[in-house]
Copies of this chain bind each other. A is one copy, B any other.
């Protein structure tokens, strides 16, 4: 078997499969181990895959015209990661994906996802709902950026990723919040002194 016994149960936790289905689905995933620092995807590459994160931590980031990095999201246990805009529209990546803490991923190609969905229509519901959740979390993020100060956004961030601190450098958090490392440092100081 190409992947762990347990992984299917983990990825598709709310769905049960027959043993033929299980075999079929498992054959489409490939296990990948990454070490910290590895770049999984670079801007301008073609995006053929998405990845389920079993453990570790990755981030997707965008490099703007001035060379500055902006983190779109972190992915930890049970999240999926890819440059979805490029993945869905079959265009080249504008995002980069970096492993920031040694990770175990399960990779699946777009072609194989499309096949799986055809063969097992329940999976389409799964992927639709996954997208709905991701959409909702992006909506929250937009509303936060419209209505909150940097300090408030940092507090929100910490409560939505309570245990992520260990894996993530402050300059990554700053680039996620849309502020500089200096500003984040001052915010953190303020928060500890109160």
A interface residue numbers (CB < 8 A to B): 62, 64, 68, 70, 72, 84-85, 88-89, 121, 124-125, 127-129, 131-136, 138-143, 145-147, 175, 178
Interchain CB contact under 8 A, A89 and B139: no
- Which residues from B are CB-within-8-Å of A139? 72, 84-85, 138
Contact B85 A146 (CB under 8 A): no
- B-side contacts of A121, CB under 8 Å: 121, 124
For this chain, the copies found in one complex come to 2
Cα–Cα, bound, A124→B139 (Å) = 22
| Chain B residues in 8 Å Cβ range of A129 | 88
Contact A135 B133 (CB under 8 A): no
In the complex, A88→B131 CA distance in Å? 11
